[in-house]
Structure 1
Amino acid sequence: MRKKKEKSRKASSAPRRTNSIVIQSFDETPNRFKSKLDPINHLELRDNFLERGQIPQFQIRASHNQRARHIDIKFDLLPEAVAVLEKVCSMFGSGDVFLKKTFGDKITVDEATDKVKGYLYENNCNNQVKICWSKDLLCSGKMCWHGPCIQANRPEARTFNLLLQNSKENMFLSEHGIICLADHEIGTHYLRMYNDGLQPWFSQRQQFGIGRLRSKKLLETEEGLATINTMLKAKHQLLWKPALLYYTACKSLEMSFQQLYDHLGTYVRDSNYRWKLVMRVKRVLDNVNDVGGYGKDQCYFTGAVQLLRNIDETDFVLLYSGRISVEELPRIRRLARMNCIKLPTFLQDVGKYKQNLWNIAVVNNLVSKDKLPSKRAKLKKINISVNIPSAKKYSKSCQPSKKTVRTFCNRIAPQSSSIMSPIPYSPHKWMLSKRPRSCPNTFEKSKEKPQPLWKC
């Protein structure tokens, strides 16, 4: 009996394939999926802080140069972030109520897996992405890819893994939230990663004048685009979470770990979520009681505001050609291979997609209603009518047949001609250049034939 139980446990941990989609579950996230900025034993440190009040001392594998890469914190968009937070508090009372009403009730892991599988089939990604559930994942979701080195330039040999947090702390593990998370991870990160492998600059970005994959501009465009795509199908399209991340980074320069944790209680009641916010900012410090923090999480709100304030000037289809920033769009316009890329379903209608972005910008007070694009008046199609002299003036011998008159009318004013036609049709130009042989001639023919000049 013991042997049978051991076999059953091993089989449950092994990956299972359902309809060409591989699904795995981990109690502990593998090291290949972890970042060097992830603290070691963060679950134990969280329990000690919440239950005993013990201030944590984080240990991370990142070097000092990697810690200082995004140490600078900006205050440019602090008024916009505070306005979003105050609007959520005035409408819902707290961020916890906002999340519940925005993403719906909680669902099980099996129900969430079925919805993610349906999303993959809908976007034709079922044979390329693996779904991995992990209990100790720091974030709600994460997209990773592995394969040969970039210089090998073999995109077909790459494997993609969608990591999802399997715990009650995952705010997107809900009825509508799982689809919003799929728009973030699959509809944005995965498709841009996949399309980037098909472009000529994939293995030689510097030779084409394109920035590095870890550049700050690319990070803002990548996460900003994913942020606004997350709110496309949400019931309330307020950018509360990215605004809170931006606000937390700004307040870290004034407060210690404990002070910042207590201060965020005005916007969030959930103690676990507040711990995660403060941990993400203070994890790079040797002593968390010092002021300062990690400003990388500001890219979510910064990139979203940049895109929402330049909707008409941004080519979103070209932006999906690869992992590129907004500033690099003019450079790659003639280089990008657009006939082989994949686009998400919500970008099939670009006009409708931009209209949704305008709604998000107005709801978050990022654009005034006066600057919204006016609805263009639809022009009515007006058929061109041409008066043709009647055939009664001519004798029966010169009178054209009905078929000739019908073809003549269609050639002058075809049925499909209208003001909306992209190539305007000029009947006068045709009449001067060509005329059917059977067309009647109103001028009398001269009886004497003209003589050549050399006989005169």
Structure 2
Amino acid sequence: MVLDSGAQAYDQAPTSPPTSLLSLRHRLKPSDRDGPPLYPWSQSLALPVALAVPPALQPQPEQQPFSQMHLGHRGHMCRSESTYSVNSTGRRGRGTLGRPPPGQRRNPGGGHSASKSPCMLVALRPTNVDREGDKFFQSHYTYNPQFEYQEPMPTAVLKYCEASGQFIHQAVGITEAVLEKFGTYEHFEAATGRQLLTKCQIRSIVGKYMQKEGCVEEVVVQLSEDLLSQAVMMVENGRPTLAVNLTGARQYWLEGMLWHEIGTHYLRGGNNARQPWHNAEGRLRYGLRPANPTRRQPFLWRALFQDLARYVRDADVRCEYCARAKRGQTDTSLKDQVYLNGILCILGHRQTVDFPLLTSPGKVSYEDVDHLRPHGVLDNTRVPHLMQDLARYRQQLEHIMATNRLDVAELGRLLPD
């Protein structure tokens, strides 16, 4: 693992209330604090579907010191699930990158080879997000922001429109279950996330997690305050890079984020690089479904913001959620991405899904796994450590179903066979 916290200066948080779209970030900066010691990780918390961490899966305190980690290398990926690459004009890593991972060659000029494609989630961050946020607040929440981007996004990024709102009942039910237990989003955040972590604490937790997955020194870690998402896995200057948002790295949330970014995106990305469908031509040849479906019916920014008021009081937090849903768009009255469909599909078929097989072929959807099985390179692929005990893993899925009040019979009616 190579750590890169950047060269930016971190100021003290202002005391005045935020007035712009992303001013919440300045209010939450944790990096100048030492912070209290970490609590044990064994506390059981009921979380919504994207954050549910059953007691048996919550990480236990590690006894092995960080300095004694095994430094062995494993396979290297070319692209990650969540992003593409950052070229030489993109946001550069500012720390020492160390030696390349296995199989990574240096180019004749001495640098790392890099794709010309921009990192998706970095490119999807608007350059005028604060200015448009100010306009939105000044309009008394009636203006739909018009975003600008440093690079034009490929039309393929936003062209998919196969998803629907058929699971809106489940989405509202999950949110209302959280409000019933915690009262407000702010109470939920404080109770389930606990305190923001310092940079030192983040480094320690990330390092221990990478040791579990056997990928120490394969991934560069950047600590940033300039992300719309909590974290993003990308390839920057030829190196797999995990950018962690300092303003969202909370005590009980960080490891769950690592399960997603490293255990899902990085490992699946490495597996995907071995497959005949690792590029656009291969995906077309095998008829694979899009990785990021979008909503067919438009949902205005202002309508989404107002609808979220039922669940989140803080206007800045609501704006952040809107920005995440609408990133990549210029006109924010257009369609946005849909994620709930996928997790509910997996939960609905949790008794029959072959989870290691779902991970081994790389970046493929649940619906495509069976017909790809004869064509995939499945030997020596990497599976997250959480799936080593499948009986236990399936128990945690049952816990997630119960925590989020998901009805098996109702999902059965909504989901195809």
TM-score range, shorter chain: 0.5 to 0.7
Q: What is residue 130 of structure 2 aligned with on the other side?
A: 43
Distance 1:193 1:259, change over 3 A: closer
Matched, 1:86 2:126: no
Matched, 1:311 2:350: yes
Distance 1:303 1:51 in 2: 37
Distance 1:94 1:65, change over 3 A: same
Matched, 1:279 2:355: no
Amino acid at match of 1:310: H
55, 58, 68: which one aligns with 2:147 = 58
Distance 1:126 1:51, change over 3 A: farther
Unaligned runs of 5+ in 2: 1-6, 11-92, 102-116, 413-417
Cα deviation digits, residues 96-128 of structure 1 (max 9, x gap): 222222222221122112111111112111121
Q: How does 1:148-297 map to 2 (within 5 A)?
A: 159-166=239-246, 168=247, 170=248, 173-203=249-279, 206=282, 209-212=285-288, 215-216=289-290, 218-219=291-292, 253=299, 256-282=300-326, 288=332, 292-296=333-337
The 3-state SS of whatever aligns with 1:194 is: helix
* Deviation at residue 348 of structure 1 after TM alignment: 0.6
Q: Is the 8 A contact 2:125 2:328 kept in 1?
A: no
136, 140, 146: which one aligns with 2:230 = 140
Q: What is residue 152 of structure 1 aligned with on the other side?
A: none
* Deviation at residue 336 of structure 1 after TM alignment: 3.2
Q: What is residue 429 of structure 1 aligned with on the other side?
A: none
Under a length normalisation based on structure 1, what TM-score does the superposition of the two structures give? 0.58
Distance 1:177 1:51, change over 3 A: farther
Distance 1:145 1:183 in 2: 18
Distance 2:386 2:327 in 1: 36
* Deviation at residue 41 of structure 1 after TM alignment: 2.5
Q: Is the 8 A contact 1:308 1:357 kept in 2?
A: yes
Cα deviation digits, residues 416-449 of structure 1 (max 9, x gap): xxxxxxxxxxxxxxxxxxxxxxxxxxxxxxxxxx
Distance 1:41 1:344, change over 3 A: same
Q: How does 1:436-447 map to 2 (within 5 A)?
A: none
The 3-state SS of whatever aligns with 2:241 is: strand
86, 105, 109: which one aligns with 2:195 = 105
Q: Is the 8 A contact 1:309 1:361 kept in 2?
A: no
Distance 2:155 2:279 in 1: 25
Distance 1:109 1:270, change over 3 A: farther
Distance 2:314 2:126 in 1: 21
Amino acid at match of 1:353: Y
Distance 1:19 1:68, change over 3 A: closer
Distance 2:233 2:94 in 1: 21
Amino acid at match of 2:147: F
Under a length normalisation based on structure 2, what TM-score does the superposition of the two structures give? 0.62
Q: Which structure is higher in helix share?
A: 1
Q: What is residue 393 of structure 2 aligned with on the other side?
A: 353
Q: Is the 8 A contact 1:309 1:367 kept in 2?
A: no
Q: Is the 8 A contact 2:231 2:243 kept in 1?
A: yes
Distance 1:91 1:207 in 2: 43
Amino acid at match of 1:43: D
Q: Is the 8 A contact 1:136 1:165 kept in 2?
A: yes
Distance 2:162 2:270 in 1: 31
Q: CA RMSD in A?
A: 3.8
Q: How does 1:29-40 map to 2 (within 5 A)?
A: 32=119, 34-40=121-127
Amino acid at match of 2:127: I
Q: Aligned residue pairs: how many?
A: 305
Q: Is the 8 A contact 1:37 1:62 kept in 2?
A: no
Q: Is the 8 A contact 1:362 1:369 kept in 2?
A: no
Q: What is residue 402 of structure 2 aligned with on the other side?
A: 362
Distance 1:121 1:301 in 2: 30
Q: What is residue 165 of structure 2 aligned with on the other side?
A: 75
Cα deviation digits, residues 155-188 of structure 1 (max 9, x gap): xxx521111123x3x2xx1111110110010011
Pick the structure with greater CA Rg: 1
Distance 1:285 1:356, change over 3 A: closer
Unaligned runs of 5+ in 1: 1-8, 22-29, 148-157, 221-245, 373-456
Distance 1:219 1:287 in 2: 19
Q: Is the 8 A contact 2:186 2:312 kept in 1?
A: yes
Distance 1:112 1:335, change over 3 A: same
Distance 1:208 1:340, change over 3 A: farther
Distance 1:268 1:343, change over 3 A: same
* Deviation at residue 194 of structure 1 after TM alignment: 0.8
Distance 1:19 1:121 in 2: 18
Distance 2:394 2:173 in 1: 23
